[in-house]
Structure 1
């Protein structure tokens, strides 16, 4: 991977890691329902990218499916899951998207991982589990089923994204917004109560959070991510995004005073070692 592209991916991971802090503040401290928050985020994204919506890219089903999987699937399901699942257990389960993406990229895209990159993937995934696994906080719940569904949805969206061509990033974001806002809004109306009153009571910090997630997390972050997925192997990009939860932990330590113990230190070293192995591994030839 080119150094420039790796730096871009680091920026994306940092933006997404900051999103963890923003989302936590919105859901916990501002008491805004998760589906309403997500639906407003994608509604704003659609509004911004609407001029690039048409013409409808072909095959038409693919971009619609990717939009639903990435938006409503990736963010909607994990929001529902966090209603009952603990954050630590949800963090562990979402990382299952990495090996799922690697396996799907081999099965559906014909990508070759190679033993060195495979070793790096295993190290990075193992390190992430070490960092985020808390035996005292890992409680099995129905919510974890939704979180696992989110991991599958995100993995499928990355693989299908790889097959998309002649689609510009802003056009892609417009379709993600359109495909996501409808099911998320319907879900909010169906299962959430007093959501608009609670959002209004949250005031301007909530609307700033909606703007941040739409402009930076989705429009900037996912546009760069879209380009990188089209340029590199899906299993490479998905594995390197393991930097995101590590950055989230670092931000938690710096901003909210989260503890940083030996388990986290060891896990971080293992992840960084895995990332280094992945970056230095030769690019496997296409089959």
Structure 2
């Protein structure tokens, strides 16, 4: 990999990591309702990606389901979870997305799990167990349940994307944005209150944050990563994207004062090590999807 492209990948991972911490600040410190925040983010994405909307990928039901899973199902659930959990813990729990993707690929795409993948899945699950372990037993807080659900939704959407042929990443983003901007405001009206009051209370910092997460993260960083995918093998890129959870943990400790003890360190090492084993395996049908579980 050329040095310029490596630095670009590092920048992308740092943007993804900073987005995780910023989202925590938005939904927790600023008390912006998480579904409403997700709706604002995808409204901007849908507007920017509008030129790539047509023609609609077929079948229509599949692209709509992908939009629901990748938008409300993934990001909204993650933002709900971040209200009550730290970015560091969320970054580790999100590694469940990799075994989720592989297991769903077995069920939906007919893939087979070889011993090396099995070891990677086992290590990832063991790492997550270390994170949720307490002296009195295993405890998974409500926030971490939402994060785990977000990982599952993102994995299901990513596997479904493999069933859609000849659709550009920009068209996928356009439809995820459109489906999200239709569904998320409805969900916010049903389950949240005081949305605009909280937004107005924060003011311009929220506007800047939404523009950053939608334009810099969703449109900019994701598009730059798709550019790298066209030029390098996925089994080279996927391990390097593990910079994202590591940077999220570091930024969480520095910015949001996340507690990070020996137990979480062991859990992070095991979970990320398991993901690395999966990512380094050559020619899996899901290797292009592994990167989605790091963001």
- CA 1:149–1:128 in structure 2 vs 1: closer, same or farther (change >3 Å)? closer
Distance 1:5 1:165, change over 3 A: farther
Residue 185 of structure 1: how far off its partner (Å):
0.5
1:224-263 to structure 2, matched below 5 A, reads: 244-263=244-263
Say whether the 8 Å CA contact 2:95–2:124 is kept in structure 1.
no
What residue in structure 1 maps to residue 117 of structure 2? Answer: 117
- Matched residues in 2 for 1:126 and 1:45: separation? 36
**1:14-57: per-residue Cα shift (whole Å, max 9, x none)?**
33321221111111222211111110100000010011111112
Give the number of aligned pairs: 286
TM-score (norm 1): 0.79
CA separation of 1:10/1:157 partners in 2, compared to 1, >3 Å: closer, same or farther? Answer: farther
Farther off after superposition, 200-209 or 111-120: 111-120
In structure 2, the gaps of 5 or more residues are 287-295
User: Larger deviation: 102-111 or 234-243?
Assistant: 234-243
Q: Secondary structure at the match of 2:283?
A: coil
RMSD: 4.0
Aligned to 2:182: 182
TM-score, scaled relative to structure 2? 0.77
CA distance in 1, matches of 2:166, 2:121: 30
SS of corresponding position for 1:163: coil
Q: 1:102 matched to which residue of 2?
A: 102
Maintained 8 Å contact 1:13/1:243:
yes
Question: 1:187–1:277: structure 2 CA closer, same or farther, 3 Å change rule?
Answer: closer
Structure 1 residues 116 and 6 mapped into 2: Cα distance closer, same or farther (>3 Å)?
A: farther
Other-structure match for 2:170: 170
Q: CA deviation at 1:112?
A: 3.5
Shift of 1:163: 1.9
Following superposition, the deviation at residue 109 of structure 1 comes to 1.6
Q: Give me the whole-angstrom Cα distance separating, in 2, the residues matched to 1:227 and 1:204.
A: 32
Runs of 5+ consecutive residues of structure 1 not aligned to the other structure: none
Distance 2:249 2:236 in 1: 22
Range moving further from structure 2, 201-210 or 270-279? 270-279
